[in-house]
Amino acid sequence: MASSSHYHYHKDNGDDFDDMFDDFEEDFDQIPEPKERKRRIFIERNREEGHEKLWNDYFSDTPTYSHNLFRRRFRMNKSLFLSIVHRLSTEVAYFRPTEDAVGRKSLSPLQKCTAAIRQLAYGGGADAIDEYVRLAETTARKCLHYFAAGIIHLFGDHYLRRPTPEDLQRLLHFNEERGFPGMIGSIDCMHWEWKNCPKEWKGMYSRGTNKPTIVLEAVASYDLWIWHAFFGAPGTMNDLNILDRSPVFDDIIEGIAPEVNFHVNGREYNLAYYLTDESVRKDVERAFGVLQARFAVMNKMHALLRNFKMTILHLPLKNLQDSPNQMLVEKKFKINKSINN
């Protein structure tokens, strides 16, 4: 006989549910309350007033400060600075004047470019210009980065280039008059102290002075034009080791170096040379001195590494003091006359 199925219905008395609910309440009470999220501090800097003050100080018809003071503080003449500002404000999106959602104007191109130049000229912190230019520290860093990248983008084709045949003719002619026939520039290495070098790397970058350094190799001509810059070699290397790594002689190795004919002691030579030693101060040493005196940021390696991305670190090494207008350069160095005259 088949047994019948039995269905059992168990009815809780509610005690187990009450215990579970009490335990949940106890656990809920132990959950820490979320901390209040800190909001960004908004500082009303009155940037419009900052632009007006900057304009009245340097760019109005009757500026507060003279042209000489402008050149000393901006490291260039006013017409050159304004031409750079114009190019950046019309061709680089970051420097174009804009308005926010409520119709308020953004920082002016003059304020942004002034912030960048002041950081390069004086080498101070990004927040040191807040009171005058009226922009925050992070904005000042952005201005410096976009200014450097914009200069490379707009003027790199002219200033970050190889010497043309006309350049070589001018350099050879001038150096021959100085007693160095066949010379197209002088070459040297400069050591920069790396203040914030990691301890693990200190031995690799230190030599003699027990201070880590990074080496800059450069070739400069009499007009302070830096034609070649190789940066980043450890300070333990000597000049020959750096030359072995540097691309400065790649053109000669590849057979594409321009031929130059000159005679010394009755012997003919077909390749130009870079001067390494002489009894007077070399052009590249003078270029280093002018560059460091004009742009104080060049004396502070930690500031360079902090404020610049590695892809644009070479910008201050190039002629930032030069004009994007060839006529201004020729006027400055008085090289607009024909070589044959």
Is 194 within the bounds of a domain? yes
Give alpha helix (H) positions in the chain.
Answer: 15-30, 47-54, 67-74, 78-91, 109-122, 130-133, 137-159, 165-177, 202-205, 239-245, 250-254, 283-294, 301-307, 326-333
Domain boundary among 98, 133, 157: 157
Is 204 a residue whose pLDDT tops 60?
yes
Q: Read off the pLDDT band of 339 (50, 70, 90).
A: very low
First to last CA, the chain: 133
Query: What is the DSSP code (8-state) at residue 280?
Result: S
Residues in the chain: 341
Residue 159, phi then psi, degrees to nearest 5 = -100, -25
Report the domain count for the chain: 2
Is 5 within the bounds of a domain? no
The pLDDT of residue 83: 94
Mean pLDDT across the stretch 49-71?
A: 94
Q: What's the pTM? A: 0.74
Please tell me whether residues 84 and 121 are part of one structural domain.
yes
Please tell me whether residues 99 and 236 are part of one structural domain.
no
Please tell me whether residues 165 and 304 are part of one structural domain.
yes
Token representation of residue 204 = 């690799």
Token representation of residue 224 = 């302070």
Q: Who wins on pLDDT, 323 or 289?
A: 289
The pLDDT of residue 326: 38
Please tell me whether residues 177 and 238 are part of one structural domain.
yes
Please tell me whether residues 78 and 177 are part of one structural domain.
no
Please tell me whether residues 246 and 281 are part of one structural domain.
yes
Please tell me whether residues 103 and 177 are part of one structural domain.
no
Please tell me whether residues 150 and 183 are part of one structural domain.
no
What Cα–Cα distance (Å) separates residue 120 from each residue in 87, 129, 139, 159, 298? 19, 12, 15, 19, 8
Is 340 within the bounds of a domain? no
Q: Which residues pair with 329 in a beta bridge?
A: none
Please tell me whether residues 229 and 129 are part of one structural domain.
no
The pLDDT of residue 336: 35
C-alpha–C-alpha distance, residues 81 and 86, integer Å: 9
Is 19 within the bounds of a domain? no
Is 109 a residue whose pLDDT tops 80?
yes
C-alpha–C-alpha distance, residues 286 and 290, integer Å: 6
C-alpha–C-alpha distance, residues 217 and 225, integer Å: 14
pLDDT > 90 fraction of the chain, expressed in percent and rounded: 26
Conformational region of residue 200, where left means phi above 0, alpha means psi within -120 to 50, and beta covers everything else:
alpha
Please tell me whether residues 151 and 198 are part of one structural domain.
no
Q: Read off the pLDDT band of 59 (50, 70, 90).
A: very high
Is 75 a residue whose pLDDT tops 70?
yes
213-220 vs 267-271, strand pairing mode: unpaired
Is 77 a residue whose pLDDT tops 50?
yes
Sheet-wide strand order for 273-275: 226-234, 213-220, 183-193, 273-275
The pLDDT of residue 305: 58
Residue 233 belongs to domain spanning: 161-317
- In this predicted model, what pLDDT tens digit does every residue of 213-266 receive, in sequence order? 889 899 999 988 999 888 888 999 988 889 888 888 888 788 777 788 888 888
Q: Who wins on pLDDT, 30 or 278?
A: 278
Mean pLDDT across the stretch 180-196?
A: 87
Mean pLDDT across the stretch 108-136?
A: 91
Domain boundary among 157, 192, 222: 157
Is 191 within the bounds of a domain? yes
Q: Read off the pLDDT band of 158 (50, 70, 90).
A: confident
Is 11 within the bounds of a domain? no
The pLDDT of residue 40: 73
Is 65 within the bounds of a domain? yes
Please tell me whether residues 185 and 277 are part of one structural domain.
yes
Is 62 within the bounds of a domain? yes
259-264 vs 267-271, strand pairing mode: antiparallel
Q: Read off the pLDDT band of 72 (50, 70, 90).
A: very high
Residue-wise over 225-247: b if at least 16 C-beta within 10 A, else e? bbbbbbbebbbebeeeebbeebe
What Cα–Cα distance (Å) separates residue 280 from each residue in 161, 215, 285? 28, 23, 10
**Residue where the block lists tokens 């000042």:** 140
Please tell me whether residues 153 and 165 are part of one structural domain.
no
Residues with Cβ within 8 Å of 213's Cβ and at least 6 positions away in sequence, in order, are: 191, 192, 193, 194, 205, 206, 207, 235
Mean pLDDT across the stretch 76-92?
A: 94
Token representation of residue 256 = 């594409």
Domain boundary among 101, 125, 157: 157
| CA-closest candidate to residue 331, choices 77, 150, 70, 73 | 77
